[in-house]
């Protein structure tokens, strides 16, 4: 099995963990580290397997947001593994699709990484509270959420 330490230096990982904790001051450093690790694995899997629609869990997405703030690191990580992985924020819990999380976990494992299953639960799980209000569409991690249509009078 591969490890995140093969992807990020200790200094890079610490910087992204700090970004997660800045947005989530009550979160432990250990939990923030686990979230960053899963987000890093997700980005690598999405870059390596562009034809497969993937999406992070809401908790893992918090780590992806932090990784994106480190723009050079995010860009280099994507380029080293195939392609740039775009993020299109949006939140609608009705878009939750357990199959996309199952598929994403499977692709992360196919890329050679173990998965921290506890962080790949549905958006309403509540095990880990995160600041980001983001849930990706069921068909693709890189698709903007449709805006609700105004009511017709």
User: How far apart are the C-alpha atoms of 96 and 34, rounded to whole Å?
Assistant: 22
Tokens of 153: 């009078």
- Judged against a pLDDT cut of 60, whether residue 73 lies above it is answered with yes
* Residue 142: partners with Cβ closer than 8 Å, 6 or more residues away: 46, 85, 86, 87, 88
- Judged against a pLDDT cut of 90, whether residue 36 lies above it is answered with yes
> Is 144 part of any domain?
no
Beta bridge partners of 113: 2
Q: Are 29 and 99 in contact (CB under 8 A)?
A: no
pLDDT band, residue 142 (cuts 50/70/90): very low
Domain that holds residue 95: 4-119
> Is 33 part of any domain?
yes
Task: Using alpha carbons, select from 90, 87, 99, 84 the residue that is nearest to residue 141.
Answer: 87
Q: For the chain, what is the domain count?
A: 1
The pTM for the full model equals 0.83
Task: Using alpha carbons, select from 136, 107, 142 the residue that is nearest to residue 122.
Answer: 136
> Is 66 part of any domain?
yes
> Is 153 part of any domain?
no
> Is 125 part of any domain?
no
pLDDT band, residue 23 (cuts 50/70/90): very high
**pLDDT for res 92:** 66
> Is 149 part of any domain?
no
**pLDDT for res 77:** 95
- Judged against a pLDDT cut of 90, whether residue 87 lies above it is answered with no
User: How far apart are the C-alpha atoms of 127 and 143, rounded to whole Å?
Assistant: 26
**pLDDT for res 139:** 44
**pLDDT for res 42:** 96
16 three-state secondary structure = helix
Q: What region, left, alpha or beta, does residue 126 occupy, with left being phi > 0 and alpha being psi -120 to 50 degrees? A: left
Please write the tens of the pLDDT for every residue from 90-129.
666 666 778 888 999 999 999 999 999 999 987 776 777 7
Tokens of 3: 């490890």
């Amino acid at each position: 099995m591969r490890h995140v330490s093969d992807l990020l230096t200790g200094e890079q990982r610490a910087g992204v963990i700090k970004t997660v904790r800045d947005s989530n001051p009550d979160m432990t450093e250990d939990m923030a580290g686990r979230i960053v690790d899963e987000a890093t694995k997700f980005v690598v899997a999405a870059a390596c397997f562009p034809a497969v629609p993937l999406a992070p869990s809401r908790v893992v997405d918090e780590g992806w947001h932090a990784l994106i703030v480190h723009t050079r690191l995010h860009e280099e990580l994507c380029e080293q593994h195939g392609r740039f992985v775009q993020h299109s924020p949006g939140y609608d819990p009705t878009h939750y699709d357990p199959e996309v999380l199952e598929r994403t976990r499977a692709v992360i494992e196919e890329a050679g990484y173990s998965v921290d299953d506890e962080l790949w639960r549905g958006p309403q799980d509540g095990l880990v509270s995160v600041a980001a209000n983001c849930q990706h569409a069921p068909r693709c991690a890189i698709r903007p959420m449709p805006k609700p249509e105004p009511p017709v009078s």
